[in-house]
Amino acid sequence: MQQNIVTQHRRAQFGPQHRNTCVSHLPKSYVRVMAKRIIDVRQRFRAALEEINTPGSWEHITSQTGMFSLTGLSHDQVRYLKEKHHVYLLSSGRYNMCALNDSNIHYVASAVKDAFLSVHAEGGCIKNGA
């Protein structure tokens, strides 16, 4: 039992060391450019969702930080997105914001709206009976 605790402790120490070496060789300006792009994508995705009147509040898209966003989509809505629109998220609704670009941001926003209108968040029932 005690050995497992020590092993887990070592893993926790390794993570930050590895993370620091991954980007430490990059100039800080590169890291700033990457961070700015993610912020910009978040703002544009939220605007695209709101522009087409996707149900719900999308403030959390821009208030969250980092590469991933918790969308608030249910497991059934995520499955619907995958099967009908070929938009892939984790079953938890977590989405990689880096996957969005000028070519697909409006498609993904429309697909998310369709998932909200077609699948009940609570039970995963399709509203139109299909």
- Taking the alpha carbons at both ends of the chain, their separation in whole angstroms is 52
Q: Please say if the pLDDT value at position 29 is more than 90.
A: no
Query: Can you read off the two tokens belonging to residue 34?
Result: 């990457």
- Is the Cα torsion angle 32, 38, 46, 60 positive or negative in sign? negative
CATH code assigned at 106 = 3.90.1150.10
Q: How far is the CA of 123 from the CAs of 34, 75, 76, 110, in angstroms?
A: 38, 10, 8, 22
Which pLDDT value is given to residue 129?
36
Q: Is residue 90 part of a domain?
A: yes
Say which range, 9-18, 38-47, 51-60, 62-71, has the weakest mean pLDDT: 9-18
User: How many domains does the chain fold into?
Assistant: 1
Say which range, 21-25, 36-40, 58-62, has the weakest mean pLDDT: 21-25
Which pLDDT value is given to residue 83?
97
Q: Quickly count helices (H) and strands (E) in the chain.
A: 5, 2
Q: Which domain holds residue 79?
A: 37-118
Residues 48 and 106 sit within 8 Å (Cβ to Cβ): yes
Report yes or no on whether pTM surpasses 0.75: no
| Chain centre to alpha carbon of residue 35 | 15
